[in-house]
Amino acid sequence: QVQLVQSGGGLVQAGDSLRLSCEASGDTMCVSTMAWNRQRPGEERELVATITSDGNSGYVDSVKGRFTISRDNAKNTVYLQMHSLKPEDTAVYYCNADPTALPRCGGAHYWGKGTLVTVSS
């Protein structure tokens, strides 16, 4: 019912900035809270940032002050603006969305395919 298409990954130097985008399509009424997650090589996936439909956001401590999550509901898109990137930020970044409570949405969580961010030192 919902597809998430990501863009914006790449290779950058430590201290650089990068912006990731994730556009939802399909039944966008099924999208509530959106989030960015990342998975470092050999590690479990972790939640990085979340944002509710009305714009309230939260972050994991390791990215506070450096990353900003935002969303444009008119464009059905969530962004992750990353500043002061560190080598330890290197990971595959995934966007995801929690479903709304509408019965037609089925209660499933939606995931993008991921994009690689590599930060060199």
Assess whether pLDDT exceeds 90 at residue 104.
Answer: yes
List the Cα angle 106/3/75 in 5-degree steps: 110
The predicted pLDDT at position 95 comes to 98
Q: What is the pLDDT of residue 57?
A: 98
> Which whole-number Å values give the CA distances from 113 to 16, 64, 120, in the listed order?
24, 24, 23
Selection from 90, 91, 94 nearest residue 80 by Cα: 94
Average pLDDT, integer, range 27-35: 96
Q: Does position 1 have pLDDT exceeding 90, yes or no?
A: no
What token pair was written down for 119? Answer: 């930060």
Encode pLDDT of 47-96 as tens digits.
999 999 999 999 999 999 999 999 998 999 999 999 999 999 999 999 99
The pLDDT of residue 18 is 98
- What's the rounded mean pLDDT across residues 4-24? 97
Q: Is the pLDDT of residue 106 over 90?
A: no
Residues in the chain: 121
Mean pLDDT of the chain: 96
CA 102 to chain centre: 23
